[in-house]
Amino acid sequence: MAIRYGETIVLRQIDLEVRQGELIALLGSSGCGKTSLLRAVAGFVPLASGRILVGDADITHLPAERRQCAMMFQSYALWPHMSVAQNIAYGLRVRKWPKDKIAARVDEMLRLLQLEGYGERSVEQLSGGQRQRVAMGRALAIDPALLLLDEPMSNLDYRIRLELRHEIRALQQRLGITTLYVTHDREEALTLADRIVVLNAGEVAQIGSPEDVFHRPASPFVATFMGADNALELTPPSGTAAGDRSWRLRDGEGPGLDLSAHPRAAALLGNGNIRLHFRSEAAHVAGTRSDIPAGDAIQLPGAVEQTAYLGEHWRCRVRMGATSIWVDTTTPLTVGTTAIVQVPVSALHLFPVTT
């Protein structure tokens, strides 16, 4: 499927199958098209091409109220002049449910979301976490075939987000409801999802389990987005032997790097420059903990130019000529001192440089 706004294509060649009862996280930076995809499924944005199927039913041209989809917006979109119960009942009244069935369904939602006793309270009197639950209750009350969540926790503080993400996951699994969840927070996606769809500039960059996307990113963009944001461009060995220790930084500075233990290194020989990505937590400074045996790690010498205390560890920027990298340490390092950063070869993500 594809979506365009005027002459601007915001999504292209999206081909996604969501299994019954699965929670899919749509992950990407602002402007990548993830909310547009969600709104298209909900029926608020028309498709430029393609189809949307729920089971065997083609809902592409159905109005939003007939799609058996419930969407929970980032702002929650609760009616401030209505009580908690009235907000939860809103979709049922639109669908002209009998009053007794509406009352029973609202009571069921209040129990499910641990909001008993809050039915007559104004939503203006609720905390952010409680409003989020009311919005969830309104979405679930209509018994949708597909639940659509658009960054539902972006307005909450960190502690509440930690609590509610586990509540959402437990509730989704208990109900067995198929869910599309939009987020730009990779930790949220890793915690909640059965599979993650990474979007970049209107296209799917990778689809996979949280473990696959985190440990086996398909591109430099995915590697960076999933936290492997240390990036070095290397020039290839002059010879053809996979064990040649002459991969070097593009600027020519630093020692040769032995990548022969990496499973992709041999395949990348002869393909020009490569991009090497790794996470700061995967690296360490030699001497600050047990060193890694030679051949199992690359050695990157440099000078400490910045440190920041993050609570459980320090994050240090190490300068190597024109390039700098970040490394986590359990002890503070003095700015200006020399440091040798060790990175296990198994923690490296290698990609050919494309033009």
Q: What whole-number distance in Å separates Cα of residue 24 and Cα of residue 208?
A: 10
pLDDT in tens, 120-131: 999 999 988 888
Average pLDDT value over all residues in the chain: 89
Residue 325 φ/ψ region, left for φ over 0, alpha for ψ in the -120 to 50 degree band, beta for the rest: beta
Q: What whole-number distance in Å separates Cα of residue 101 and Cα of residue 297?
A: 65
Q: What's the pLDDT at 153?
A: 84
Q: What's the pLDDT at 245?
A: 58
pLDDT in tens, 226-274: 999 999 998 887 655 544 557 878 766 667 788 888 888 878 877 788 9
Report the percentage of the chain scoring pLDDT > 70. 94
The pTM (predicted TM-score) of the whole model is 0.87
**What are the E-state strand segments in the chain?**
3-5, 8-11, 23-27, 53-54, 57-58, 69-72, 146-150, 178-183, 195-200, 203-208, 230-235, 248-249, 274-278, 284-285, 297-309, 314-320, 323-329, 338-344, 349-352
Q: What whole-number distance in Å separates Cα of residue 193 and Cα of residue 19?
A: 12
pLDDT in tens, 45-86: 999 999 999 988 999 999 988 888 999 888 888 999 999 999
